[in-house]
Structure 1
Amino acid sequence: MIRVLVVDDEALIRMGFTHILNTVDDIEVVAAVSGGQAVSTVRELRPDIVLLDIRMPDVDGLTILANLRRIPDPPVVAMLTTFDTDEYVATALRSGAAGFLLKDTDPEYLPHLVRTLADGGTVLSSKITRTVVDAYLDKGTHEPPAARLAARLTERERAVLILMAEGLANTDIGERMHLSTGTVKGHVSTVFSKLQVSSRVQAALIAERAGLLASPRDGDTR
């Protein structure tokens, strides 16, 4: 069972996400709260996934994300936004969010996106703009160039990175490369360390800038 916490200042959004996700057998919304209750609820209920509104009047979603990242064994966090050009998205990705999705995401796909997050994948709205990606990359100009970072990887680690960037979760990467899921997780951890990143989104964007991907990344699941 995948345990989910929904954090949003709008009661209607909380109710909608809860209803959609609770209609499937393998997902349970353990709570749906406003921003001020988010961190304490995570500490109490220990959800696997947090769907977190990026803009809330009572507390900033980015502040909540930073606080959640400090918790030992933190949950996977995906940001919710109403705007596909939200300037805060780039900051959220750099802060360790596993991706973001729009609040008007087709309800049919929402459970699939949650399962992708639970399996170690990332989710990005198909409406993400080049501006958002560029904003993320431009803020990293003081860091080593992507090609130099990617050169630190072994051939197998580079293959894992490419499959991550193509949207495959750990189990899928394992099947493709004939490796156990545990071995894949080990490679993913090493890739994060060598690339100096903390999320699959950050790693995938470095792979893109380093020229490791055949075509631009786009789609609902990453």
Structure 2
Amino acid sequence: MTAPSPVAADVLAGWDPISRPPRRTLSWLALLLVLAGCGYAYEVGRGLIEARYPAFAGDICPAVDVQPIFKALPGPIDPPTDHPIDGETPGEGVRRRCRFAITGADGVTPRAMGEMTVTRYPYAPVAQLFFSMDRSQASGSSFAPKDVREVAALGEEAFALEDGDGSFQVAARDSNLTIDLQLVVAGDVGADLARTLGDGVRSSLRRLG
């Protein structure tokens, strides 16, 4: 084999081949990242705007579970009955309300009065907005603050409030549905009613779903 001549070496050293088109690997990777980001945003967005709970078919009182309260405060029971709410609900929500009562052993003396209000909003963000407003209102004012506590593992967000005068409240939001359960008890209470109300709200959410 003969070595290339000096002229050929000079030509090869200065030769500039036609430039190739850039590799598409990075372009494909970038496209995949964009698609993945769009998919994630879609899932998050769908979770925010979805309406998990369907429209009310009618009276929701049969779905309201107040058995945990009756176990904590045994006595004759007036079962939940529908009480219409006058006026429009902000945010185009649809609201239903049920009331129930527990009497003493004599069947006459009131022992506890309860009320559960269920509101269905068209979209989850609307429910979230009005739920935050309700929570802010429940916390009282700077002059008379109330002890509002967060409740874990109850819907997507929930809070509990005890006024100290026998009044208890637990409210929760799950997707586009909010539940507000309030109970007024006469006399001493020997049970953790805030936890009891939470159990009732949790069970009612399952029934309404």
Point out the structure with max Rg over C-alpha.
Answer: 2
The answer to whether TM tops 0.5 is no
TM-score category, normalised to shorter length: under 0.3
Between the two structures, name the one with larger relative contact order (CA 8 Å, sep ≥ 6).
2
Please report the TM-score for the alignment, with normalisation by the length of structure 2: 0.26
The structure carrying a bigger helix percent of its residues is 1
